[in-house]
Structure 1
Amino acid sequence: MTFDFPAFLVLASVLTGGIWLIDALLFAPRRRRLAEAAMAGGARIDEGRPLVREPVLVEYARSFFPVIFAVLILRSFIVEPFRIPSNSMMPTLLTGDFILVNKFAYGLRLPVLNRKFVELGEPRRGDVLVFKFPLDPKTDYIKRVIGLPGDEIDYRNKTVFVNGEPMGQLPIGAFSGEGSGTEMTGAREALESLDGVEHRILTRSNAPNLPFGCQKLALGPIRVPPGHYFVMGDNRDNSNDSRCWGFVPDANLVGKAFAIWMHWDSERDGLPIAWSRLGDGIH
């Protein structure tokens, strides 16, 4: 069972905030009156100890509510951390990268319901996008936006075609992987340009044109429907993406990945932390 952290934050905020509010409106005034009456009757006041103590439950709720609510706002509307679990976005992102995702780049959405209530922007070709996997919305995926609504997308001979135009590739050479990415050592690395957005990709000349089990583009170009996006991993021969399961609906968008704040890969030689990746932008 997957732990639903956004739902937990909403529930915890409602619970702690509700306890604090109910006490402030109904019970705190009564405690103050009792304390005033006790003082008027000559009750001794010990330094640092109130005459009528606040219930422990209320004390905890008052202490935790601002923290929980601040985390809810930050995570829901500003920025959210994610960890990369696979090699599908190599060499841009590696297994073990901890990334930050801009939550307002594509509009503000209600937590849990994921319903957009403020329009701020739309994905652009080349964006690195985090989204809810259409076949299992409880799972977050990360891929690169290749096709926008209305685009005609084709992929043949290891090349992306957008509206009939091939997206240029500049060969870099043979890729050398480390840690969890050593399996891709020897793959062809190239610099691809998507409408001016340059990023590195990996392909293998001896691999099929489509990853195993992918059939969506087997018969030729396809048109991206309105309100949907076509996405692919930068590790083109090792990515479960739109070629396999179709398009990403706008309702599934989570945000735009923009930075790496940590990298931890236990399979690396020596230290598991790659210090050189800390603070890198994601393009």
Structure 2
Amino acid sequence: MKPVKLSLQAFLMSCLMPGWGLVYVGRINWGIRVAVLLLAGIVLMGLCGLVTTPVGLYLFFGFIVVVKLASAVTSAVLARRYTGPANVPRKRFHALYVGVLLILVLMLDVFRVPLLGFKNYSIPSGSMAPTLSIGDYIMTDLRPDAPKVGDIVVYRWNGTEAVKRVAGVAGDTLTIVNGELIHNGENLGLFHAPADRVKGPESLAMAPVKVEPGHVFLLGDNRYNSNDSRFMGQVALEDVVGKVTGIWFSNERARIGTTFP
């Protein structure tokens, strides 16, 4: 005699929604507990700042996979052993369960900054090469401390979001001489720019600039091919979205997992 509940269906339902397969086999309380465990774990990891680095993201995904896979296997086993009525629980309860979970997941995305504190971006241009290459996927801490010289940040400009490196903060005086960055009188050398990317008059020289209050001065590591503060002006702190903490995926295997201080 065929089982009343299908093991494969229970497995797939748990993979789609946490605990849904357990609800399908009549273990409603178990399903709710799994969903609470998963969502609470995600929020807790976000609040503790554990997901703002590549390693943290790997642990984050690993936690989700382990919880979902464990519940999926359990629900598949229970489905094979199920002998109760086929229509329990009712379709209305399934719809309610999935609907509530969808709302909670959407709320996590809406309140991404206070609850999760991270965001992923892909790099579409070479302005930060070779530090960041086209196609790299980066992790960004959305709740960082005040930007510091050397930080790589995501910022809003002209309706888009881009990535550059902080060369100066409020009150700093900057100039470029022979391609080298002079920061408050201290020579910082090429400042993360490879020598072969420092060419052309805009890369070799810049008149002294003082960073305004509430602003940062940004430079691209690919100095010869970067639309940064030399051309677009200084960036207001409120337009700085977050700090780049590392590369979590890249077409170049050696770059995967790279972290930035």
| TM band (smaller chain) | 0.5 to 0.7
Q: How does 1:16-95 map to 2 (within 5 A)?
A: 48-49=87-88, 53=92, 56=95, 58=96, 60-74=98-112, 77-95=116-134
Cα distance, 1:55 vs. partner?
Answer: 9.6
Q: Which amino acid aligns with 1:85?
A: P
Aligned to 1:225: 212
Gaps in structure 2 of 5+ consecutive residues: 1-84
Q: Distance in 1 between matches of 2:213 and 2:132?
A: 29
| 2:250 counterpart of 1:282 | no
Q: Distance in 1 between matches of 2:134 and 2:228?
A: 17
Q: Matched residue of 2:194: which SS?
A: strand
Instruction: Decide whether aligned partners of structure 1 residues 122 and 48 sit closer, same or farther in structure 2, where only a CA change above 3 A counts.
Output: same
Instruction: Decide whether aligned partners of structure 1 residues 59 and 158 sit closer, same or farther in structure 2, where only a CA change above 3 A counts.
Output: same
Cα distance, 1:209 vs. partner?
Answer: 2.5
Q: How does 1:1-283 map to 2 (within 5 A)?
A: 48-49=87-88, 53=92, 56=95, 58=96, 60-74=98-112, 77-105=116-144, 121-133=145-157, 136=158, 138-169=159-190, 192=191, 200-204=192-196, 207-210=199-202, 220-263=207-250, 273-283=251-261
Please state which structure has a larger fraction of its residues in helix: 2
Task: Give the paired residue count.
Answer: 176
Q: Distance in 2 between matches of 1:278 and 1:253?
A: 25
Residue identity (%): 31
Q: Matched residue of 2:201: which SS?
A: coil
Q: Distance in 1 between matches of 2:230 and 2:90?
A: 69
Aligned to 1:42: none
Instruction: Decide whether aligned partners of structure 1 residues 47 and 95 sit closer, same or farther in structure 2, where only a CA change above 3 A counts.
Output: closer
8 Å CA contact retained: 2:113, 2:143 = no
Aligned to 2:51: none
Q: Which amino acid aligns with 1:281?
A: T
Instruction: Decide whether aligned partners of structure 1 residues 47 and 254 sit closer, same or farther in structure 2, where only a CA change above 3 A counts.
Output: same
Instruction: Decide whether aligned partners of structure 1 residues 53 and 204 sit closer, same or farther in structure 2, where only a CA change above 3 A counts.
Output: closer
Q: Matched residue of 2:110: which SS?
A: helix
Cα distance, 1:254 vs. partner?
Answer: 0.5
Q: Distance in 1 between matches of 2:219 and 2:237?
A: 16
Please list the CA deviations of residues 228-275 of structure 1 after superposition, one character each: whole Å capped at 9, or x if unmatched: 000000111111100001001011011000111111xxxxxxxxx311
TM-score, with normalisation over the residues of structure 1?
0.56
Q: Which amino acid aligns with 1:123?
A: P
Q: Which amino acid aligns with 1:168?
A: G
8 Å CA contact retained: 1:92, 1:282 = no
TM-score, with normalisation over the residues of structure 2?
0.60
Please state which structure has a larger fraction of its residues in strand: 1
Cα distance, 1:96 vs. partner?
Answer: 0.8
Cα distance, 1:74 vs. partner?
Answer: 4.0
Cα distance, 1:165 vs. partner?
Answer: 2.3
Q: Which amino acid aligns with 2:171?
A: G
Q: Which amino acid aligns with 1:70?
A: L
Gaps in structure 1 of 5+ consecutive residues: 1-45, 106-120, 170-191, 193-199, 212-216, 264-272
Q: Distance in 2 between matches of 1:153 and 1:140?
A: 24
Q: Distance in 1 between matches of 2:174 and 2:243?
A: 22
Q: Which amino acid aligns with 1:209?
A: P
Q: Distance in 1 between matches of 2:127 and 2:189?
A: 21
Cα distance, 1:90 vs. partner?
Answer: 1.1
Q: Distance in 2 between matches of 1:47 and 1:84?
A: 50
Q: Distance in 2 between matches of 1:51 and 1:249?
A: 55
